[in-house]
Structure 1
Amino acid sequence: MTWTVFLAVLLAALLHAGWNAVVKGSSDKLAGMAAMAVGHAVPGGLAVLLFPPVDPAAWPWIAGSVALHFGYLRFLLLAYRLGDLSEVYPLARGSAPLLVALFSTVVLGSALSGMQLAAVAVIAAGILSIGLARRGRANPSAVAAALVTGVFIAAYSLMDGVGARVSGSPVAFFGWAALLGAIPFGLYAERRRPGLVLRLPRLAPAAFFGGGWASFTAYAIVVWAFTQAPIALVTALRETSIVFALLIGALVLRERVDLARIASTFVTLVGVALLRFAR
């Protein structure tokens, strides 16, 4: 992985942490999630217009991406209803890199060195430990929902990684996925709460205007990176967004950071260093 790709994915991780800080601060998780998903439509449409068109062979992958992102959002909402953010989010994001690495090597035949696999494992261990170190008894239903969410994250990462390569235009590929993906989640949110979609700019303006653009930009960078480096390595590096989230929480939101989280962050950063210099 070159320095350009490495730093670009870290920027995407920072943007990802930023919009999550906006959304997680909302007491109305459905409105926040819907605002982010529907907010993707504008930057997605612009990407489709401004970047080269995708190869027609990419359309099945775009359809798969839309379906998997919808499943991810649905199960993430379920996990948030069943458990706390500090329990659910690290389990979901930390399990995904392991699943992507396993599928990439066993099914796709990606050639990852022992050091690269070790870097992915260390990053995943650091992220997972943030959730596992949480005090109090875990809710089994919340843990199950979080792990299913992790499966969806791994699945859409693989779908988007392969699809972006097939498309020949990775940003336009994600532009179509984001533009079309706003429809099913918007319909779902409208069914759950009639009239919600039209009220999103007022109910969740930060998530709708800022979060949608930040989230789109972050993942567009990641989809481009999928065409430049192994999908498993990009996925693992992207999930370091949780480290940025902890820093934002501590420095901006003045949240308490205990010794266990500091240790988990250190482990994650060791994994990042291994990944950068692994061959």
Structure 2
Amino acid sequence: MISGLNRLVGLVEEHLDGEFDVRGLAGELGTTEYHLRRMFSSLAGMPLSEYVRRRRMTVAAADVVRGEDDLLGIAVRYGYGSTEAFGRAFRAVHGVGPRDVRRDGGPLRTQPRLRIRLTVEGSSPMDTRLVDRPAFRLVGHAARVPLIHEGVNPHIQRHIAALPQEEHLRLKALGDTEPAGLLQVSDGVDPDGREGSELTYLHGVAVGGDSAAPGDLDVIGVPAGMWAVFRTAGPFPQALQTTWAATATEWFPSNPWRLRPGPSIVAFLERADDFSTATCELWLPVEPA
């Protein structure tokens, strides 16, 4: 996977002036575009789309400063249909417009080319199990929320706090299959993992495929398949987020599995009353690599 991600970085460099085929590269590597994008964003700390934009604007800045071509010609060269669209992308990266840079020579913010290297990690074993599950459903209360990578997501926090205590008890009583207990479900996550992109968050439980679900609850159908289940304990949500990151940096590169599309699920096994610490299971849908 490390060599594959570096091939992806090389593909970006070869096509800074146009589109490139991520799906085709994924096929050559024997994986999926979904998994490749998820691994890139986890390891690079930014979505592939953001890295491409930063690299394009880094290289385009040199053309702007040299002044040999007009701004429209530079815009078209880097895949933009107008100077306005190019200017917006340029300003988002550099903080100033191309005309200002042409006049003043800067300021410029450079995005270096990424080089992804394997480092010696994994000295602490990850507590993981693989589970083959038949189809089931997730039922509960859903909301559209923005993706936040670090710390508590206030949008999710407000969504849960708005539910009366008796509703939590009702949901818990409905659950009749694994993952057990009250669950935090993230579905429809952008494969690039862009901060602020929207996802569907569901606070609920898992029920068997044949179990009845009350009509006032939202339902997410989950097809049969394999799951990698990671157990984590410690300060919440930091310990959970650390484990989530370690799946990309340690577990997936070391195991013959890849992510498949589907919801990610956090099951709470134990927690402090104030939620400062928790023991959780992180369920990720996987398939053979």
Q: Same fold (TM over 0.5)?
A: no
Larger relative strand fraction = 2
Q: Which of the pair has the greater relative contact order for Cα pairs under 8 Å at 6+ separation?
A: 1
The TM-score, its normalising length taken from structure 2, stands at 0.22
The TM-score, its normalising length taken from structure 1, stands at 0.23
Larger relative helix fraction = 1
| Structure number with bigger Rg | 2
